[in-house]
Amino acid sequence: MTSPNFPFYTATAALLASLNLVALPLAPVSAQKISGDRGEIASAIDKLKGGKVVYTPPKDVGTPTNTVGGLSRGECKEVRCLMALMPNTKSGVDHFPQTVSSHPVFFFNAPKFSGWAEFRLYEVSTKAAPKRIYKTRFPIETQASIISFRMPLDAPELKVGKFYRWEFAWNNPANSTCVGVVRRVDLDRTVLQQIAKAKPIDKASLYAKAGVWFEAVETLAEARRDRPDAPDLMTEWSDLLKSVGLDVVVLQPISPESLSTKASNSY
């Protein structure tokens, strides 16, 4: 895989200039020489006004807390580690992240890595142990960045109202597995009509307010890929991740590729 070219720090330099700050890029920036550190970048973003995209966890959805097993968005809490971009929910809480998609997109903070990854999906019920319904293994090569995995279309579609346990792992012996639960939901027609007409930040806000974590994150990530120089998108992205304790990854660049294009050996 060709190493992606991330324009994040170019945009950050422009942002800091407007705030009379300077920053040292972690990736090459053409035609510019800037100095500083990641702390100053974070401080500059914090000074901007955001707060439109506020995640509201869903309530009273009948979570099957005694059958999902141990959950973890990542054992390691440092930026050098594999970490799912999810609320840090645990077995026994009253909600899990929701999606409106039959084949949602999962986002992870990833270190530089080359090897194999595996994605597993299980049906969850209140009466039995989770039943595996899908598994795929595929080659992976990443730079240190936010990566995405779109669930392949040959995987069984998520059914509305159902809970599913998912596992994402790779053949790195340290801090190599993320485990979570996802539930697919339908949104009110009025909300869907508003989402269809909304611009990215407002669209992400509508998803987040409705308790739909997956599409809130996906909407902002896609918008930041298209407009990496937009301070408002940087701020909303930072605020959303910080709201669920993911402060350590807010400055990571977003990879332009989805891992699903390389999926193979599904069974």
What is the pTM (predicted TM-score) of this model? 0.78
pLDDT-derived band of residue 43, with 50, 70 and 90 as boundaries?
A: low
Instruction: Determine the CATH number of domain 83-262.
Output: 2.60.40.10
pLDDT of 3 > 50? The answer is no
User: Can you tell me the mean pLDDT for 56-84?
Assistant: 66
Nearest to 230 by CA among 196, 200, 194: 200
What's the distance, CA 46 to chain centroid?
Answer: 20
pLDDT of 193 > 70? The answer is yes
What the block records as the tokens of 167 is 């596992």
Do 26 and 38 meet the contact criterion of CB atoms below 8 Å apart? yes
Identify the sign of the CA torsion 139, 72, 253, 235.
positive
User: pLDDT (tens digit, 9 = 90+) per residue, 234-251?
Assistant: 999 999 999 988 999 999
Q: What is the DSSP letter of 62?
A: -
Selected residue with higher pLDDT from 39 and 203: 203
User: pLDDT (tens digit, 9 = 90+) per residue, 133-173?
Assistant: 999 998 888 889 999 999 888 889 999 999 999 999 988 76
Residues 6+ apart with CB under 8 A from 12: 23, 25, 41, 44, 45, 234
4: left (phi over 0), alpha (psi -120 to 50) or beta: beta
pLDDT of 83 > 80? The answer is yes
**What ranges do the domains of the chain cover?**
8-47, 83-262
User: Can you tell me the mean pLDDT for 253-263?
Assistant: 73
Phi, psi for residue 165 in degrees, rounded to 5: -90, 135
- Residue 65 carries which side chain, given as an amino acid letter? T
